[in-house]
Structure 1
């Protein structure tokens, strides 16, 4: 059983999230759910995992009727199209999608209906490797280093994402995350050597902080999160991301797309509130649940956005932003305003498990001048 308040209070104690006690209705879909991410003899089972996004629309109050007929008509969908998908709005990567007038039509409709957007984005590789930093910090017990934990994680990730295949091969040789005590010295030594060989990828301060952390790790006798783990399994499943949202917004109603694996995960871990059962969510078929249908293109579009951000340096994004067509700018401005209005309502509507560098890249596209673009 999961005590909702116990889990929720841990989140609230570390974050200022006004309106988290509000009563909303959340609709969910997801994109880039790889089920499991693990190391193989050839690298990873998913060679280039995209950003996982769990999200969709949210509105104030109890569930209400959503009429999709006007939207379907404006998108010129054929009667045999049973549900709205991202592919019906456009094709290609994020920038290509922004060229589609149907993306603009869709985002305008979502905005005019008064819907907000919620999402949790997770960079799967980042999520897989941050335990290295957390293990060292937990064992070293140096309070001043905790203040720099995001800088350290960002630096390590910047080094390791430069060569995903090489990173997978390196981790696989140590059965990561089950490195164990015997192989720990060799693992740390090789990682330190790798960081030193890519010094030019990091700012001076970030490099020396990360180098110092790994030098400190050589003297430790244990790395707690890298021992007695399942070998070669980076991500076992995505159930905890659903748990996070359901616990944080316990006063709301949650309508989730049919997903047997997640349903089994939640059934095995029933929620309780003050000792009493709490069932504030249900699963539904997307063909009969309009809110989930709207959530599909939104989650998909956000997945494309964060995947593009992940592989495009900040300088290149600035060049791309300058070169956007009028159509692309209108669609991007609509998305940016939707995210902005949503996080104004509650910052917890948008949660990021990504590197700080990628947050800066996201800010470039979703804040600033683009918000002022006329639509």
Structure 2
């Protein structure tokens, strides 16, 4: 049995979150769900995993009735279309989608509705690698290290993120995350060698802090999240991220697209809200749920945005933004307005599980 309050209450306390007792109706879809990330003799099973996005549309109270024919009319869909998909509105990368007239129409349609948008974004490799930092800090128990943990996680990820061949090869040699006590020192020593070789990637302060943390790790007797784990399995599913949403907004109604693996995961938890069974979610066929179809388009567009941010540094992002044409600028401004309107309503509508660097890149886009 899982009491969702054991997930919800610490999250509220840690994040200072408010407004979560209000009743909303959430519709969901996802994009870039690789379902499982693991190490193979040839590297990762997915060579370059992209950000997983779980998100969609939220309404205060009940969602208004929406018929698929309304969507067909609003976005001039072909008569053969049976549901709304992002490909019906535009194709290509994020910048190409901003230039698609139907994407602009879609964003303006959302702007003129009473809808909010919500999303969680997760970088699978970032999530997988930060166990190194969490293990050292948890075992060492230093409040000073806890305070700078996000910076240390960002820098470790920066050290390893841009080498899709070498990083999995290193992790595979140690059956990461099941490094174990015998190989712990060798693993940390190898990270130290890489850090020294790539010192020029970091400001002096960042380099010294990460170097110091790895030196601490080399002296510890154990690394709790890097032993007694499933060998070579970095992510075994995204069910916990669905669970976090259901727990955080336990008073709301959550309507999700059918995903058998997530249904099985949640069914096996016997979810409770105190002594009462939690029944605040349901799975539906998207063809019968137009708001889920709208969520599909939004999640897909956001997925393209996060890929754009992840694959371009700040200088490249500023150059791209300065080169936007009028249609692209208008579409981006509308998307930014939707995010602002939604986070003003409830900051917890948006959650980032990615590096500080990628969050800076996204901030550059949203503040443009």
Bucket of the pairwise TM-score, normalised by the shorter protein: over 0.9
- In the alignment, is the contact (CA less than 8 A) between 1:188 and 1:217 conserved in 2? yes
CA distance in 2, matches of 1:68, 1:344: 29
After TM superposition, the structure 1 stretch with the greater mean CA deviation from structure 2, 100-109 or 194-203, is 194-203
Matches within 5 A, 1:1-375: 1-367=1-367, 369=368
- In the alignment, is the contact (CA less than 8 A) between 1:71 and 1:109 conserved in 2? no
Where 1:39 maps in the other structure, the secondary structure is: strand
CA distance in 2, matches of 1:301, 1:63: 22
After TM superposition, the structure 1 stretch with the greater mean CA deviation from structure 2, 160-169 or 253-262, is 160-169
CA distance in 2, matches of 1:336, 1:298: 13
Per-residue deviation, 1:291: 0.9
Moved over 6 A (4+): none
- In the alignment, is the contact (CA less than 8 A) between 1:71 and 1:106 conserved in 2? no
- In the alignment, is the contact (CA less than 8 A) between 2:180 and 2:227 conserved in 1? yes
Per-residue deviation, 1:114: 1.3
- In the alignment, is the contact (CA less than 8 A) between 1:24 and 1:60 conserved in 2? yes
After TM superposition, the structure 1 stretch with the greater mean CA deviation from structure 2, 237-246 or 138-147, is 138-147
Per-residue deviation, 1:274: 2.2
Describe the superposition over 1:236-288 as per-residue Cα deviations: whole angstroms up to 9, x where unpaired: 00000000000000110000001111001111112212211120110000000
CA distance in 1, matches of 2:261, 2:18: 32
Per-residue deviation, 1:7: 1.4
Describe the superposition over 1:341-364 as per-residue Cα deviations: whole angstroms up to 9, x where unpaired: 111111110000000111111011
Where 1:48 maps in the other structure, the secondary structure is: coil
CA distance in 2, matches of 1:8, 1:174: 34
Q: TM-score normalised to the size of structure 2?
A: 0.98
- In the alignment, is the contact (CA less than 8 A) between 1:94 and 1:305 conserved in 2? yes
- In the alignment, is the contact (CA less than 8 A) between 1:63 and 1:253 conserved in 2? no
- In the alignment, is the contact (CA less than 8 A) between 2:99 and 2:327 conserved in 1? yes
CA distance in 2, matches of 1:230, 1:209: 30
Describe the superposition over 1:49-73 as per-residue Cα deviations: whole angstroms up to 9, x where unpaired: 0100000000000243113434322
Describe the superposition over 1:47-100 as per-residue Cα deviations: whole angstroms up to 9, x where unpaired: 010100000000000243113434322322111111111111111111111110
Q: Specify every segment of 5 or more residues in structure 2 that has no aligned partner in the other structure, as ranges.
A: none
CA distance in 2, matches of 1:302, 1:274: 35
- In the alignment, is the contact (CA less than 8 A) between 2:86 and 2:297 conserved in 1? yes
Q: Specify every segment of 5 or more residues in structure 1 that has no aligned partner in the other structure, as ranges.
A: 370-375
Q: Alignment length, in residue pairs?
A: 368
Per-residue deviation, 1:156: 0.4
CA distance in 2, matches of 1:203, 1:231: 34
Corresponding residue number in structure 2 for 1:372:
none
- In the alignment, is the contact (CA less than 8 A) between 1:137 and 1:145 conserved in 2? yes
- CA RMSD in angstroms comes to 1.0
Per-residue deviation, 1:195: 1.0
